[in-house]
């Protein structure tokens, strides 16, 4: 089945099978930041933006992306680098396996939420699992990146 979509601002046509998942299709076409781990939509590693909304690409069929605008971490290098500097400065970088999906959600959160509380940040990131951290360093980094007022 031929689908037409925009990947990181580039129009493409891809031939996909009816049962191909978007995460697999993206990886097959060079978007290697898109990872899969749980295959149950629980870990957040496969997060991409579809029409500027974060989604779990391991549970979306590629055919459903027809006509959509898809953004992966490869299309957000400047924004990702800015957040990565803060993540490192806060001592919150870990092995990096979960980072692409986590970063995609943090960047989406910056567009969506204004001066969120700790609870709102935690709720927004609930689906992002990290195997190596206690999340406190990441929370500090997210708050710094979002410019959250700490005296709330």
| Among 56, 69, 67, residue whose Cα is nearest residue 128 | 56
In a domain, 29, yes or no: yes
Q: Are residues 84 and 106 in the same domain?
A: yes
Structural element, H or E, at residue 2? strand 2-7
Domain of residue 68: give its range. Answer: 2-74
**From first to last of its 152 residues, what are the pLDDT tens digits of the chain?**
999 999 999 999 999 999 999 999 999 999 999 998 877 788 889 999 999 999 999 999 999 999 999 999 999 999 999 999 999 998 887 777 778 999 999 999 999 999 999 999 999 888 887 777 777 888 999 999 999 866 55
Structural element, H or E, at residue 55? strand 53-56
Tokens for 120?
Answer: 């709102």
Question: How far is Cα 104 from Cα 114, in angstroms, rounded to an integer?
Answer: 17
Q: Are residues 113 and 65 in the same domain?
A: no
In a domain, 152, yes or no: no
- Tabulate helix, strand, coil % of the chain (nearest 5): 40, 15, 40
In a domain, 106, yes or no: yes
Give the three-class secondary structure for 142: helix
Tokens for 107?
Answer: 């960047």
**pTM, whole model, 2 decimals?**
0.90
């Amino acid at each position: 089945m031929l689908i037409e979509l925009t990947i990181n601002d580039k129009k493409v046509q891809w031939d996909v099978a009816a049962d191909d998942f978007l995460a697999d299709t993206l990886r097959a076409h060079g978007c290697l930041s898109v990872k899969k781990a749980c295959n149950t939509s629980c870990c957040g590693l496969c997060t991409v933006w579809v029409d500027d909304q974060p989604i779990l690409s391991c549970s979306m069929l590629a055919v459903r992306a027809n006509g959509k605008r898809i953004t992966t971490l490869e299309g957000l290098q400047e924004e990702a680098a800015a957040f990565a500097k803060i993540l490192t400065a806060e001592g919150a970088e870990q092995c990096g396996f979960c980072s692409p999906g986590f970063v995609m959600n943090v960047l989406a959160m910056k567009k969506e939420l204004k001066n969120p509380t700790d609870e709102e940040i935690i709720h927004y990131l609930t689906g992002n699992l990290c195997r190596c951290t206690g999340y406190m360093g990441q929370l500090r980094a997210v708050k710094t990146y979002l410019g959250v007022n700490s005296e709330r």
